[in-house]
Structure 1
Amino acid sequence: MRAFALLSTVALAIWGAVAAPLESSLERRAATVYTRCTTANTAALTFDDGPYIYLYDIVNTLDAAGAKGTFFFNGNNYGCIYSADNMARVKYAYNHGHQVASHTWAHKDLTTLTWDQIHDEMWRVEQALVRIVGAYPAFMRPPYGNYNSLVLEASGVRGQGVVIWDFDSQDSLGASAQTSRNLYNNIANQRPSTILALNHETIETTAHNVVAYAIQRLQSAGYRLVTLSECLGKPAYQSTAAPQTPDSSWRC
Protein backbone atom coordinates (compact mmCIF):
# COMPACT_ATOMS: atom_id res chain seq x y z
CA MET A 1 0.00 0.00 0.00
CA ARG A 2 2.83 2.39 0.83
CA ALA A 3 4.34 1.77 -2.60
CA PHE A 4 0.99 2.41 -4.25
CA ALA A 5 0.59 5.66 -2.34
CA LEU A 6 4.05 6.77 -3.46
CA LEU A 7 3.21 5.94 -7.05
CA SER A 8 -0.03 7.89 -6.76
CA THR A 9 1.83 10.94 -5.54
CA VAL A 10 4.42 10.68 -8.29
CA ALA A 11 1.68 10.26 -10.87
CA LEU A 12 -0.15 13.32 -9.62
CA ALA A 13 3.03 15.39 -9.65
CA ILE A 14 3.81 14.34 -13.19
CA TRP A 15 0.18 14.92 -14.20
CA GLY A 16 0.33 18.47 -12.96
CA ALA A 17 3.68 19.18 -14.57
CA VAL A 18 2.80 17.85 -18.00
CA ALA A 19 -0.85 18.85 -18.25
CA ALA A 20 -0.25 21.25 -21.11
CA PRO A 21 1.62 18.78 -23.36
CA LEU A 22 -1.24 16.33 -22.87
CA GLU A 23 -3.40 18.72 -24.86
CA SER A 24 -1.71 17.66 -28.07
CA SER A 25 -1.37 13.96 -27.26
CA LEU A 26 -4.85 13.16 -25.93
CA GLU A 27 -8.22 13.76 -27.46
CA ARG A 28 -10.10 16.22 -25.31
CA ARG A 29 -13.37 14.79 -24.11
CA ALA A 30 -15.65 16.98 -22.07
CA ALA A 31 -16.46 15.78 -18.58
CA THR A 32 -20.02 14.86 -17.70
CA VAL A 33 -21.84 17.58 -15.79
CA TYR A 34 -24.08 16.34 -12.97
CA THR A 35 -26.84 18.68 -11.82
CA ARG A 36 -29.08 16.17 -10.07
CA CYS A 37 -29.01 12.80 -8.39
CA THR A 38 -30.22 9.76 -10.30
CA THR A 39 -31.10 7.27 -7.53
CA ALA A 40 -34.73 7.75 -6.56
CA ASN A 41 -35.60 8.92 -3.05
CA THR A 42 -32.09 10.11 -2.27
CA ALA A 43 -30.88 13.52 -1.16
CA ALA A 44 -27.21 14.50 -1.20
CA LEU A 45 -26.17 17.27 1.18
CA THR A 46 -22.95 18.80 -0.13
CA PHE A 47 -20.71 21.31 1.61
CA ASP A 48 -18.27 23.65 -0.16
CA ASP A 49 -15.21 25.75 0.73
CA GLY A 50 -13.68 23.77 3.62
CA PRO A 51 -11.91 22.35 5.43
CA TYR A 52 -13.02 24.77 8.13
CA ILE A 53 -13.74 24.97 11.85
CA TYR A 54 -17.38 23.87 11.58
CA LEU A 55 -16.60 20.54 9.90
CA TYR A 56 -16.71 18.53 13.12
CA ASP A 57 -20.12 19.89 14.04
CA ILE A 58 -21.51 19.12 10.59
CA VAL A 59 -20.08 15.59 10.52
CA ASN A 60 -21.32 14.86 14.04
CA THR A 61 -24.81 16.08 13.15
CA LEU A 62 -24.86 13.90 10.04
CA ASP A 63 -23.56 10.89 11.96
CA ALA A 64 -26.13 11.26 14.73
CA ALA A 65 -28.93 11.08 12.15
CA GLY A 66 -27.46 8.18 10.18
CA ALA A 67 -26.91 10.51 7.23
CA LYS A 68 -23.95 10.95 4.90
CA GLY A 69 -22.60 14.11 3.29
CA THR A 70 -20.10 15.18 0.65
CA PHE A 71 -17.38 17.75 1.27
CA PHE A 72 -15.92 19.70 -1.65
CA PHE A 73 -12.57 20.87 -0.30
CA ASN A 74 -10.30 23.70 -1.37
CA GLY A 75 -6.55 23.58 -0.92
CA ASN A 76 -5.98 27.16 0.15
CA ASN A 77 -9.14 29.22 0.56
CA TYR A 78 -10.16 29.72 4.20
CA GLY A 79 -6.86 28.17 5.25
CA CYS A 80 -4.14 25.82 4.06
CA ILE A 81 -5.31 22.23 3.73
CA TYR A 82 -1.88 21.11 4.96
CA SER A 83 -2.18 22.75 8.38
CA ALA A 84 -2.39 20.17 11.16
CA ASP A 85 -5.92 21.24 12.06
CA ASN A 86 -7.18 21.09 8.49
CA MET A 87 -5.58 17.73 7.74
CA ALA A 88 -7.32 16.40 10.87
CA ARG A 89 -10.64 17.78 9.60
CA VAL A 90 -10.27 16.15 6.18
CA LYS A 91 -9.41 12.83 7.84
CA TYR A 92 -12.36 13.13 10.21
CA ALA A 93 -14.87 13.50 7.39
CA TYR A 94 -13.30 10.74 5.31
CA ASN A 95 -12.84 8.28 8.18
CA HIS A 96 -16.48 8.77 9.21
CA GLY A 97 -17.61 7.56 5.81
CA HIS A 98 -18.40 10.88 4.19
CA GLN A 99 -17.23 11.64 0.66
CA VAL A 100 -14.41 14.06 -0.09
CA ALA A 101 -14.11 15.78 -3.44
CA SER A 102 -12.34 18.63 -5.23
CA HIS A 103 -13.39 22.27 -5.12
CA THR A 104 -10.02 23.20 -6.66
CA TRP A 105 -7.04 24.77 -4.94
CA ALA A 106 -7.71 28.48 -4.32
CA HIS A 107 -11.38 28.94 -5.28
CA LYS A 108 -10.60 30.86 -8.47
CA ASP A 109 -13.16 31.31 -11.22
CA LEU A 110 -11.89 28.63 -13.61
CA THR A 111 -13.52 30.30 -16.61
CA THR A 112 -10.99 33.15 -16.31
CA LEU A 113 -7.94 30.85 -16.41
CA THR A 114 -5.79 29.28 -19.12
CA TRP A 115 -5.54 25.55 -19.76
CA ASP A 116 -2.34 25.29 -17.70
CA GLN A 117 -3.80 27.35 -14.85
CA ILE A 118 -6.97 25.24 -14.73
CA HIS A 119 -4.92 22.06 -14.40
CA ASP A 120 -2.79 23.64 -11.68
CA GLU A 121 -5.92 24.52 -9.68
CA MET A 122 -7.17 20.96 -10.08
CA TRP A 123 -4.12 18.78 -9.53
CA ARG A 124 -2.84 20.55 -6.42
CA VAL A 125 -5.96 19.76 -4.39
CA GLU A 126 -6.14 16.25 -5.87
CA GLN A 127 -2.57 15.69 -4.72
CA ALA A 128 -3.45 16.98 -1.25
CA LEU A 129 -6.37 14.58 -0.87
CA VAL A 130 -4.25 11.65 -2.04
CA ARG A 131 -1.56 12.60 0.46
CA ILE A 132 -3.87 13.21 3.42
CA VAL A 133 -6.41 10.38 3.10
CA GLY A 134 -5.23 8.36 0.08
CA ALA A 135 -8.31 9.16 -2.03
CA TYR A 136 -8.08 10.44 -5.60
CA PRO A 137 -11.45 12.15 -6.16
CA ALA A 138 -13.72 11.30 -9.05
CA PHE A 139 -15.68 14.55 -8.81
CA MET A 140 -14.92 18.26 -8.97
CA ARG A 141 -17.18 21.22 -8.27
CA PRO A 142 -16.04 24.43 -9.98
CA PRO A 143 -16.01 27.51 -7.73
CA TYR A 144 -19.16 29.63 -8.14
CA GLY A 145 -20.54 26.81 -10.30
CA ASN A 146 -18.78 28.43 -13.26
CA TYR A 147 -17.43 26.32 -16.10
CA ASN A 148 -16.78 26.53 -19.83
CA SER A 149 -15.65 24.11 -22.51
CA LEU A 150 -12.02 24.39 -21.40
CA VAL A 151 -12.92 23.48 -17.80
CA LEU A 152 -14.99 20.51 -18.97
CA GLU A 153 -12.18 19.29 -21.21
CA ALA A 154 -9.62 19.61 -18.42
CA SER A 155 -11.89 17.70 -16.05
CA GLY A 156 -12.46 15.07 -18.70
CA VAL A 157 -8.73 14.58 -19.22
CA ARG A 158 -8.37 14.19 -15.46
CA GLY A 159 -11.12 11.56 -15.33
CA GLN A 160 -13.47 13.63 -13.20
CA GLY A 161 -17.14 14.47 -13.35
CA VAL A 162 -18.25 18.08 -12.79
CA VAL A 163 -20.88 18.53 -10.10
CA ILE A 164 -23.31 21.44 -9.79
CA TRP A 165 -26.63 21.28 -7.82
CA ASP A 166 -30.38 21.55 -8.20
CA PHE A 167 -31.12 23.07 -4.80
CA ASP A 168 -29.34 26.01 -3.15
CA SER A 169 -29.74 26.74 0.56
CA GLN A 170 -28.58 30.27 -0.38
CA ASP A 171 -26.31 30.42 2.66
CA SER A 172 -23.46 31.86 0.58
CA LEU A 173 -25.81 34.54 -0.73
CA GLY A 174 -26.46 35.86 2.75
CA ALA A 175 -29.68 33.99 3.50
CA SER A 176 -30.62 33.83 7.17
CA ALA A 177 -30.88 30.45 8.86
CA GLN A 178 -34.66 30.79 8.81
CA THR A 179 -34.64 31.46 5.07
CA SER A 180 -32.50 28.38 4.44
CA ARG A 181 -34.80 26.27 6.64
CA ASN A 182 -37.80 27.60 4.72
CA LEU A 183 -36.16 26.66 1.44
CA TYR A 184 -35.57 23.12 2.69
CA ASN A 185 -39.15 22.91 3.87
CA ASN A 186 -40.42 24.10 0.49
CA ILE A 187 -38.37 21.57 -1.48
CA ALA A 188 -39.46 18.76 0.84
CA ASN A 189 -43.09 19.76 0.30
CA GLN A 190 -42.58 19.71 -3.49
CA ARG A 191 -41.11 16.18 -3.12
CA PRO A 192 -38.93 15.86 -6.26
CA SER A 193 -37.55 12.38 -6.84
CA THR A 194 -34.06 13.47 -5.75
CA ILE A 195 -32.26 16.49 -4.30
CA LEU A 196 -28.66 17.62 -4.79
CA ALA A 197 -28.23 20.38 -2.21
CA LEU A 198 -25.59 23.10 -2.03
CA ASN A 199 -24.44 24.30 1.39
CA HIS A 200 -21.24 25.87 2.70
CA GLU A 201 -19.18 24.40 5.49
CA THR A 202 -17.75 27.83 6.32
CA ILE A 203 -21.02 29.43 7.45
CA GLU A 204 -21.75 29.12 11.16
CA THR A 205 -25.53 29.30 10.85
CA THR A 206 -25.52 26.49 8.31
CA ALA A 207 -23.55 24.25 10.66
CA HIS A 208 -25.49 25.09 13.81
CA ASN A 209 -28.98 26.15 12.72
CA VAL A 210 -29.73 24.62 9.32
CA VAL A 211 -28.12 21.21 8.86
CA ALA A 212 -30.00 19.42 11.64
CA TYR A 213 -33.32 20.85 10.41
CA ALA A 214 -32.55 19.93 6.79
CA ILE A 215 -31.73 16.36 7.76
CA GLN A 216 -34.88 15.95 9.84
CA ARG A 217 -37.15 17.55 7.23
CA LEU A 218 -35.76 15.56 4.31
CA GLN A 219 -35.80 12.27 6.20
CA SER A 220 -39.39 12.90 7.29
CA ALA A 221 -40.24 13.43 3.61
CA GLY A 222 -38.90 9.97 2.81
CA TYR A 223 -35.42 10.74 1.48
CA ARG A 224 -32.29 8.75 2.25
CA LEU A 225 -29.44 11.19 2.91
CA VAL A 226 -26.47 9.77 1.08
CA THR A 227 -23.14 10.74 -0.46
CA LEU A 228 -22.96 12.19 -3.93
CA SER A 229 -21.47 8.91 -5.10
CA GLU A 230 -24.43 6.92 -3.84
CA CYS A 231 -27.01 9.34 -5.21
CA LEU A 232 -25.36 9.08 -8.65
CA GLY A 233 -24.61 5.37 -8.46
CA LYS A 234 -20.96 5.98 -9.35
CA PRO A 235 -17.61 5.46 -7.57
CA ALA A 236 -16.52 8.30 -5.31
CA TYR A 237 -12.82 7.89 -6.08
CA GLN A 238 -10.62 7.01 -9.02
CA SER A 239 -8.26 5.23 -6.63
CA THR A 240 -7.69 4.80 -2.91
CA ALA A 241 -4.58 3.99 -0.92
CA ALA A 242 -3.13 4.47 2.53
CA PRO A 243 -2.57 8.06 3.67
CA GLN A 244 0.99 9.32 3.48
CA THR A 245 3.37 10.85 5.99
CA PRO A 246 3.74 14.64 5.86
CA ASP A 247 7.07 16.15 4.87
CA SER A 248 8.46 19.56 4.01
CA SER A 249 6.84 19.51 0.53
CA TRP A 250 3.37 19.64 2.07
CA ARG A 251 2.80 23.39 2.05
CA CYS A 252 0.62 26.06 0.51
Structure 2
Amino acid sequence: MKRMVRYLLLGLLTVSMLASYAEASPINGAYHFGFKKSQNGQLPSIDQEGFKSILEHNHAIFLGDTKQKELYLTFDNGYENGFTPAILDVLRDKKVPAAFFVTGHYLKDQPELVKRMAAEGHIVGNHSWSHPDMTRISNGQIKEELEKVKSEVQRLTGQQGTFLRPPRGIFNNRTLAESYAQGYINVFWSVAYKDWDTNVQRGAQYAHQQVLKQLHPGAVILLHSVSKDNTEALGSIIDEARKQGYAFKSLNDLKTKTY
Protein backbone atom coordinates (compact mmCIF):
# COMPACT_ATOMS: atom_id res chain seq x y z
CA MET A 1 0.00 0.00 0.00
CA LYS A 2 2.81 2.42 0.88
CA ARG A 3 4.45 1.77 -2.48
CA MET A 4 1.15 2.38 -4.27
CA VAL A 5 0.68 5.70 -2.44
CA ARG A 6 4.23 6.68 -3.30
CA TYR A 7 3.76 6.04 -7.01
CA LEU A 8 0.45 7.90 -7.01
CA LEU A 9 2.07 10.92 -5.41
CA LEU A 10 5.02 10.75 -7.78
CA GLY A 11 2.59 10.85 -10.68
CA LEU A 12 0.92 13.92 -9.25
CA LEU A 13 4.26 15.65 -8.81
CA THR A 14 5.51 14.92 -12.29
CA VAL A 15 2.60 16.16 -14.39
CA SER A 16 3.64 19.42 -16.01
CA MET A 17 5.92 20.35 -13.10
CA LEU A 18 8.71 21.87 -15.14
CA ALA A 19 7.16 22.73 -18.46
CA SER A 20 9.50 24.89 -20.47
CA TYR A 21 6.55 26.68 -22.00
CA ALA A 22 3.31 28.21 -20.80
CA GLU A 23 0.09 26.84 -22.19
CA ALA A 24 -3.24 28.43 -21.32
CA SER A 25 -6.30 26.21 -21.23
CA PRO A 26 -9.31 27.66 -23.09
CA ILE A 27 -11.52 26.24 -20.33
CA ASN A 28 -10.05 27.75 -17.20
CA GLY A 29 -7.25 30.00 -18.46
CA ALA A 30 -4.70 27.82 -16.70
CA TYR A 31 -0.96 28.21 -17.15
CA HIS A 32 1.82 25.76 -16.42
CA PHE A 33 4.71 27.78 -15.04
CA GLY A 34 7.66 27.86 -17.40
CA PHE A 35 10.59 30.14 -18.14
CA LYS A 36 13.59 30.68 -20.38
CA LYS A 37 16.47 29.26 -18.39
CA SER A 38 19.46 31.28 -17.28
CA GLN A 39 22.74 30.76 -19.12
CA ASN A 40 26.16 32.09 -18.14
CA GLY A 41 24.76 34.06 -15.23
CA GLN A 42 22.21 35.92 -17.32
CA LEU A 43 18.73 36.37 -15.92
CA PRO A 44 15.97 33.92 -16.86
CA SER A 45 12.90 35.32 -18.55
CA ILE A 46 9.13 34.86 -18.55
CA ASP A 47 8.60 37.61 -21.12
CA GLN A 48 7.35 35.20 -23.79
CA GLU A 49 5.27 33.01 -21.50
CA GLY A 50 2.07 35.03 -21.52
CA PHE A 51 1.52 35.32 -17.77
CA LYS A 52 3.92 38.05 -16.68
CA SER A 53 1.19 40.58 -15.91
CA ILE A 54 -0.79 37.98 -13.92
CA LEU A 55 2.18 37.25 -11.66
CA GLU A 56 2.91 40.94 -11.21
CA HIS A 57 -0.71 41.82 -10.43
CA ASN A 58 -0.97 39.11 -7.79
CA HIS A 59 2.44 39.75 -6.20
CA ALA A 60 3.76 36.28 -7.07
CA ILE A 61 7.48 35.55 -6.90
CA PHE A 62 9.78 33.75 -9.26
CA LEU A 63 12.89 35.88 -8.71
CA GLY A 64 14.47 37.69 -5.81
CA ASP A 65 16.59 40.83 -6.00
CA THR A 66 18.41 40.40 -9.30
CA LYS A 67 20.96 43.06 -8.34
CA GLN A 68 22.28 40.93 -5.48
CA LYS A 69 24.16 37.64 -5.61
CA GLU A 70 21.58 36.00 -3.39
CA LEU A 71 19.98 32.55 -3.69
CA TYR A 72 16.75 31.21 -2.24
CA LEU A 73 16.76 27.44 -1.78
CA THR A 74 13.39 25.69 -1.85
CA PHE A 75 12.31 22.04 -1.78
CA ASP A 76 9.01 20.42 -2.71
CA ASN A 77 8.06 17.64 -0.30
CA GLY A 78 5.08 15.71 -1.63
CA TYR A 79 6.16 12.50 0.06
CA GLU A 80 9.22 11.23 1.91
CA ASN A 81 11.71 9.08 0.02
CA GLY A 82 14.25 8.76 2.83
CA PHE A 83 16.48 11.70 1.88
CA THR A 84 15.14 14.68 3.84
CA PRO A 85 17.11 13.89 7.04
CA ALA A 86 20.35 13.97 5.04
CA ILE A 87 19.27 17.19 3.31
CA LEU A 88 18.57 18.77 6.69
CA ASP A 89 21.96 17.60 7.95
CA VAL A 90 23.71 19.36 5.07
CA LEU A 91 21.72 22.56 5.54
CA ARG A 92 22.49 22.53 9.27
CA ASP A 93 26.20 21.92 8.76
CA LYS A 94 26.47 24.52 5.99
CA LYS A 95 24.22 27.01 7.85
CA VAL A 96 21.88 27.47 4.88
CA PRO A 97 18.20 28.39 5.28
CA ALA A 98 15.61 26.76 3.04
CA ALA A 99 11.88 26.52 2.48
CA PHE A 100 10.13 23.14 2.36
CA PHE A 101 6.75 23.13 0.62
CA VAL A 102 4.72 20.28 2.11
CA THR A 103 1.46 18.52 1.30
CA GLY A 104 -1.13 17.05 3.63
CA HIS A 105 0.26 13.58 2.99
CA TYR A 106 3.70 14.71 4.13
CA LEU A 107 2.32 16.37 7.25
CA LYS A 108 0.47 13.22 8.25
CA ASP A 109 3.29 10.84 7.33
CA GLN A 110 6.34 12.80 8.57
CA PRO A 111 5.37 15.13 11.44
CA GLU A 112 8.74 14.77 13.15
CA LEU A 113 10.62 15.86 10.05
CA VAL A 114 8.30 18.85 9.71
CA LYS A 115 9.04 19.77 13.31
CA ARG A 116 12.75 19.43 12.62
CA MET A 117 12.53 21.74 9.59
CA ALA A 118 11.04 24.48 11.72
CA ALA A 119 13.28 23.85 14.72
CA GLU A 120 16.37 24.26 12.53
CA GLY A 121 15.18 27.60 11.17
CA HIS A 122 13.59 26.63 7.88
CA ILE A 123 10.28 27.76 6.43
CA VAL A 124 7.55 25.16 6.16
CA GLY A 125 5.57 26.31 3.14
CA ASN A 126 2.15 25.34 1.82
CA HIS A 127 1.91 22.98 -1.15
CA SER A 128 -1.83 22.30 -0.63
CA TRP A 129 -3.41 19.38 1.22
CA SER A 130 -4.10 16.98 -1.66
CA HIS A 131 -2.01 18.48 -4.50
CA PRO A 132 -4.90 19.31 -6.88
CA ASP A 133 -4.93 21.42 -10.00
CA MET A 134 -6.30 24.47 -8.20
CA THR A 135 -7.57 26.02 -11.42
CA ARG A 136 -10.16 23.23 -11.52
CA ILE A 137 -11.55 23.62 -8.01
CA SER A 138 -13.69 26.36 -6.47
CA ASN A 139 -12.45 29.24 -4.34
CA GLY A 140 -14.01 27.53 -1.34
CA GLN A 141 -12.08 24.36 -2.07
CA ILE A 142 -8.86 26.33 -2.52
CA LYS A 143 -9.40 27.89 0.87
CA GLU A 144 -9.99 24.48 2.44
CA GLU A 145 -6.88 22.99 0.80
CA LEU A 146 -4.69 25.78 2.11
CA GLU A 147 -6.28 26.10 5.53
CA LYS A 148 -5.84 22.40 6.31
CA VAL A 149 -2.10 22.63 5.63
CA LYS A 150 -1.77 25.92 7.48
CA SER A 151 -3.58 24.61 10.54
CA GLU A 152 -1.49 21.45 10.74
CA VAL A 153 1.81 23.28 10.17
CA GLN A 154 0.88 25.74 12.89
CA ARG A 155 -0.04 22.91 15.25
CA LEU A 156 3.24 21.11 14.63
CA THR A 157 5.63 24.06 14.42
CA GLY A 158 3.97 27.30 15.47
CA GLN A 159 4.68 28.83 12.07
CA GLN A 160 1.85 30.91 10.60
CA GLY A 161 2.70 30.19 6.97
CA THR A 162 2.65 32.84 4.25
CA PHE A 163 4.36 31.13 1.31
CA LEU A 164 2.55 28.91 -1.18
CA ARG A 165 3.80 26.85 -4.08
CA PRO A 166 0.93 25.96 -6.42
CA PRO A 167 0.72 22.22 -7.06
CA ARG A 168 2.44 21.22 -10.31
CA GLY A 169 3.07 24.90 -11.05
CA ILE A 170 -0.46 25.26 -12.46
CA PHE A 171 -2.24 28.57 -11.91
CA ASN A 172 -4.46 31.23 -13.35
CA ASN A 173 -5.44 34.74 -12.34
CA ARG A 174 -8.24 33.47 -10.10
CA THR A 175 -6.12 31.02 -8.11
CA LEU A 176 -3.36 33.57 -7.57
CA ALA A 177 -5.84 36.26 -6.55
CA GLU A 178 -7.74 33.94 -4.22
CA SER A 179 -4.63 32.65 -2.44
CA TYR A 180 -3.20 36.17 -2.19
CA ALA A 181 -6.47 37.31 -0.62
CA GLN A 182 -5.97 34.55 1.94
CA GLY A 183 -2.58 36.02 2.84
CA TYR A 184 -0.27 33.87 0.71
CA ILE A 185 2.64 34.81 -1.52
CA ASN A 186 2.86 32.40 -4.44
CA VAL A 187 6.44 31.26 -4.95
CA PHE A 188 7.53 29.86 -8.31
CA TRP A 189 11.18 29.33 -9.33
CA SER A 190 13.93 30.42 -11.69
CA VAL A 191 16.31 27.44 -11.38
CA ALA A 192 15.07 23.88 -11.84
CA TYR A 193 15.69 20.68 -13.74
CA LYS A 194 13.99 17.29 -14.12
CA ASP A 195 14.89 15.88 -10.73
CA TRP A 196 11.63 14.38 -9.44
CA ASP A 197 11.64 11.05 -11.28
CA THR A 198 13.14 8.59 -8.80
CA ASN A 199 13.55 6.04 -11.59
CA VAL A 200 15.78 8.39 -13.60
CA GLN A 201 18.56 9.52 -11.30
CA ARG A 202 21.81 10.31 -13.08
CA GLY A 203 24.25 10.87 -10.25
CA ALA A 204 25.35 13.69 -7.99
CA GLN A 205 27.62 15.25 -10.60
CA TYR A 206 24.71 15.61 -13.00
CA ALA A 207 22.60 17.36 -10.36
CA HIS A 208 25.56 19.59 -9.47
CA GLN A 209 26.00 20.65 -13.10
CA GLN A 210 22.30 21.18 -13.76
CA VAL A 211 21.90 23.58 -10.83
CA LEU A 212 25.20 25.43 -11.07
CA LYS A 213 24.90 26.22 -14.78
CA GLN A 214 21.62 28.04 -14.14
CA LEU A 215 22.69 30.19 -11.19
CA HIS A 216 22.02 33.90 -11.43
CA PRO A 217 21.48 36.79 -8.99
CA GLY A 218 18.20 36.49 -7.12
CA ALA A 219 17.61 32.86 -8.10
CA VAL A 220 14.78 30.90 -6.50
CA ILE A 221 16.00 27.30 -6.72
CA LEU A 222 13.48 24.46 -6.86
CA LEU A 223 14.68 20.98 -5.87
CA HIS A 224 12.66 17.88 -5.04
CA SER A 225 13.59 16.12 -1.83
CA VAL A 226 12.80 12.69 -3.30
CA SER A 227 15.93 12.92 -5.48
CA LYS A 228 18.99 10.90 -4.45
CA ASP A 229 21.06 13.01 -6.85
CA ASN A 230 20.01 16.26 -5.18
CA THR A 231 20.78 14.90 -1.74
CA GLU A 232 24.26 13.76 -2.68
CA ALA A 233 25.05 16.95 -4.62
CA LEU A 234 23.64 19.49 -2.19
CA GLY A 235 26.82 20.11 -0.22
CA SER A 236 28.93 20.66 -3.34
CA ILE A 237 26.26 22.91 -4.87
CA ILE A 238 26.30 25.11 -1.77
CA ASP A 239 30.11 25.20 -1.62
CA GLU A 240 30.52 26.07 -5.30
CA ALA A 241 27.80 28.73 -5.21
CA ARG A 242 29.55 30.38 -2.29
CA LYS A 243 32.87 30.24 -4.14
CA GLN A 244 31.16 32.17 -6.91
CA GLY A 245 30.18 34.87 -4.42
CA TYR A 246 26.58 33.86 -3.76
CA ALA A 247 24.90 34.00 -0.36
CA PHE A 248 21.92 31.86 0.65
CA LYS A 249 18.94 33.76 2.03
CA SER A 250 15.58 32.87 3.51
CA LEU A 251 12.37 33.69 1.64
CA ASN A 252 11.58 35.84 4.67
CA ASP A 253 14.42 38.12 3.54
CA LEU A 254 13.04 38.47 0.03
CA LYS A 255 11.92 42.04 -0.44
CA THR A 256 12.40 42.73 -4.15
CA LYS A 257 11.10 40.88 -7.16
CA THR A 258 12.05 41.62 -10.74
CA TYR A 259 10.23 40.31 -13.79
Segments of 5+ residues of structure 1 without an aligned counterpart are: 1-29, 235-252
Matches of 1:185 and 1:130, distance apart in 2: 34
Letter in 2 for 1:226: K
Counterpart of 2:213 (choices 186, 210, 228) is 186
Matches of 2:133 and 2:121, distance apart in 1: 30
- Identify the residue that residue 108 of structure 2 maps to in structure 1: 82
Counterpart of 2:127 (choices 75, 94, 103) is 103
Higher deviation after alignment, 37-46 or 153-162: 37-46
* SS of residue paired to 1:100: strand
- Identify the residue that residue 31 of structure 1 maps to in structure 2: 58
Matches of 1:170 and 1:180, distance apart in 2: 9
Matches of 1:219 and 1:50, distance apart in 2: 29
Distance change >3 Å, CA 100–CA 141, structure 1 → 2: same
* SS of residue paired to 2:150: helix
* SS of residue paired to 1:169: coil
CA contact (8 A) 1:73 1:100 kept: yes
TM-score (norm 1): 0.72
1:64-123 deviations in Å (ceiling 9; x for gaps):
1121111111112xx4x134xx11101101111111111111111212222222222111
- Identify the residue that residue 222 of structure 1 maps to in structure 2: 245
Distance change >3 Å, CA 144–CA 50, structure 1 → 2: closer
- Cα distance, 1:187 vs. partner? 2.5
- Identify the residue that residue 125 of structure 1 maps to in structure 2: 149
TM-score (norm 2): 0.70
Map residues 1-252 of structure 1 onto 2, 5 A cutoff. Answer: 31-38=58-65, 40-50=68-78, 52=80, 53-76=82-105, 79=106, 81-83=107-109, 86-172=110-196, 174=200, 176-177=202-203, 178-188=205-215, 192-207=216-231, 209-230=232-253, 232-233=254-255
Matches of 2:78 and 2:95, distance apart in 1: 22
CA-based RMSD: 1.9
CA contact (8 A) 1:170 1:180 kept: no
Matches of 1:60 and 1:134, distance apart in 2: 22
CA contact (8 A) 2:201 2:229 kept: no
* SS of residue paired to 1:91: helix
* SS of residue paired to 2:104: coil
**Number of aligned residue pairs:** 195
1:170-207 deviations in Å (ceiling 9; x for gaps):
2125462333211223124xxx2221100011222222
Letter in 2 for 1:71: F
Higher helix share: 1
CA contact (8 A) 1:31 1:160 kept: no
